[in-house]
């Protein structure tokens, strides 16, 4: 189960750019009036502090300081109202930066009943350009991996044939 969660983090992570690497959000638990979420973001430059700003229409903004979990990775586990907040990560350090805003659902949270107070994108043509680019990149990477595997397997057959041909020759070079 832990391996499945790790795989989900990798597959659902969203690249943020501007000093940030991949970001994800995992729903840990749900109650009738709250969800527990684990926010995680990779930082690609030196950071003294990283803060997650959560904003939703009609709600007070929430600022959460993130803890360094390992070098270059910051996160926090927190309880929130079951709302599809927009999240902006802010990096404080020698080169301050802010990420693009992403919703909790874009980062990987699935709300109870599959819905939240905000609308969701369901039409594939309505996906943001960066998501479409990452999808095509993943497909290309998969195709390249399969091609490399096929080349490796077929290359192994050629080596076996050539080694068999060499061993059937006589030492004086004749047949």
Question: How buried is 22 (Cβ within 10 angstroms: 0-12 exposed, 13-18 middle, 19+ buried)?
Answer: middle
CB atoms within 10 A of CB 117: 14
Residues 86 and 8 in one domain: yes
Q: For 28-32, 95-99, 107-111, 167-171, which range has the lowest pLDDT when averaged over its residues? A: 167-171
**Residues with Cβ < 8 Å from 36, sequence gap 6 or more?**
27, 28, 29, 30, 77, 78, 79, 80
Q: Are residues 153 and 71 in the same domain?
A: no
Give CA angle at 9 (98, 29), nearest 5°.
Answer: 95
- Over range 101-107, report the average pLDDT: 91
The answer to whether residues 68 and 142 belong to one domain is: no
pLDDT tens for 7-51 read 444 444 555 556 788 899 998 888 888 899 999 999 988 888 899
Look at residues 64, 10, 12, 74 and name the one whose alpha carbon lies nearest to residue 43. 74
Provide the β-strand partners of residue 36.
29, 79
Pairing of strands 35-43, 73-80: antiparallel
* Residue 29: its H or E element: strand 20-30
Sign of the dihedral through C-alpha 126, 132, 138, 143: positive
Q: What is the pLDDT of residues 49-84, one digit of tens each?
A: 899 999 998 888 999 999 999 998 999 999 999 999
Report the C-alpha gap between 40 and 131 in whole angstroms: 19
How many structural domains does the chain have? 2
Pair 77, 46 in one domain? yes
Tokens coding 4: 């499945």
Q: Which of 128, 78, 110, 92 is nearest to 20 (CA)?
A: 92
User: Are 114 and 139 members of one domain?
Assistant: no
Domain-located, residue 104: yes
Domain containing 158 equals 124-167
At 27, which CATH number? 2.60.40
Q: Say whether both 130 and 162 belong to one domain.
A: yes
Residues 129 and 85 in one domain: no
Residues 84 and 129 in one domain: no
């Amino acid at each position: 189960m832990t391996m499945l969660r790790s795989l989900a983090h990798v597959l659902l992570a969203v690249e943020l750019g501007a000093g940030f690497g991949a970001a994800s959000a995992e729903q840990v638990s749900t109650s009738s009036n709250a969800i527990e979420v684990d926010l995680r973001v990779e930082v690609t430059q030196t950071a003294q502090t990283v803060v997650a700003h959560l904003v939703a229409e009609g709600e007070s903004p929430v600022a959460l300081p993130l803890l360094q979990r390992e070098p270059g990775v910051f996160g926090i586990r927190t309880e929130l109202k079951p709302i599809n907040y927009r999240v902006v990560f802010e990096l404080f350090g020698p080169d301050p930066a802010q990420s693009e805003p992403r919703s909790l659902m874009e980062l990987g949270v699935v709300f109870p009943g599959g819905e939240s107070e905000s609308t969701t994108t369901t039409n594939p043509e309505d996906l943001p350009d960066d998501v479409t680019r990452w999808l095509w990149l993943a497909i290309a990477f998969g195709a390249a991996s399969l091609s490399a595997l096929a080349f490796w397997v077929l290359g192994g057959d050629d080596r076996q044939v050539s080694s068999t041909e060499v061993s059937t020759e006589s030492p004086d070079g004749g047949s």
